[in-house]
Structure 1
Amino acid sequence: MSPLPPDALWAAVALAGLACLGIKLAGHVLPEHWLARPRVARVAALVTVALLAALVAVQTATDGGRLVVDARLPALAVAAVALVLRAPFVVVVVLAAVTAAGLRLLGMP
């Protein structure tokens, strides 16, 4: 259950959506030479990686707002090794899914 009342949750979702829309529009409205600066490009690349890493961490190690260790964590490790070995993305996803499914079949939550 969410700690926020449903109205507040939907308000937060709407605000986040408007913020995303504003950022997207800013990318089209700002002069191109501002966005072409090396510092801006570097920050944009790092923010993307940080957001993706945070999403993966939250989806892998939490359940209902609490930390958990279940079959998702070893599956993520297998996916990371496959990526380091430069496996195609589809292979990475299949290996992670098979790992999680196998561990759950063996009784790991």
Structure 2
Amino acid sequence: MSGLWIGVLLTAVGCYALKLAGLSVPSRVLDHPLTRRATDLIPAALLGALIGVQVLGGERELVIDARLAGLGVAAVLLLLRVPFLPMVVAAAATAALLRL
């Protein structure tokens, strides 16, 4: 068996064990207010991290280019409560025009 398949099998076993560990957490821990608050905030934190990596990420350095301007336009339009699709179009158009 190759090293790749050993890695795949170990990952599968690890994922199953992690899932099983999550199912064995007592309900008093899951119902705690701090746990609930943390689980409510995790998706927003992950989305923010993904946006930061995609907008500012380069090979090995931070890159400030048209993507950041597009994000800025999207943030302003979000504050102005513009619907999602026009906001995305405006942000993409801003980045495209700056790259032109």
Aligned to 2:92: 97
The separation in 2 between residues aligned to 1:31 and 1:83, in whole angstroms, is: 40
What aligned pairs does 1:42-57 form with structure 2 within 5 A after superposition? 42-57=37-52
- Please give the secondary structure, in 2, of the residue aligned with 1:56: helix
Alpha-carbon distance change, 91 to 37 in structure 1, aligned in 2, over 3 angstroms: farther
The separation in 1 between residues aligned to 2:70 and 2:80, in whole angstroms, is: 15
RMSD (Å) for aligned C-alpha atoms = 3.0
Alpha-carbon distance change, 36 to 89 in structure 1, aligned in 2, over 3 angstroms: farther
What aligned pairs does 1:83-94 form with structure 2 within 5 A after superposition? 83-94=78-89
In the alignment, structure 1 residue 61 sits paired with structure 2 residue 80: no
How many residue pairs end up in the alignment? 90
The separation in 2 between residues aligned to 1:38 and 1:91, in whole angstroms, is: 37
List alignment gaps of at least 5 residues for structure 1. Answer: 1-6
Residue 37 of structure 1, CA deviation: 3.3
The separation in 2 between residues aligned to 1:99 and 1:45, in whole angstroms, is: 32
Flag the structure with larger Rg.
2
TM value normalised by structure 2: 0.70
- Please give the secondary structure, in 1, of the residue aligned with 2:55: helix
Percent sequence identity is 43
- Please give the secondary structure, in 2, of the residue aligned with 1:65: coil
Q: Which runs of 4+ in 1 moved over 2 A?
A: 29-38
In the alignment, structure 1 residue 76 sits paired with structure 2 residue 71: yes
List alignment gaps of at least 5 residues for structure 2. Answer: none
The separation in 1 between residues aligned to 2:96 and 2:42, in whole angstroms, is: 32
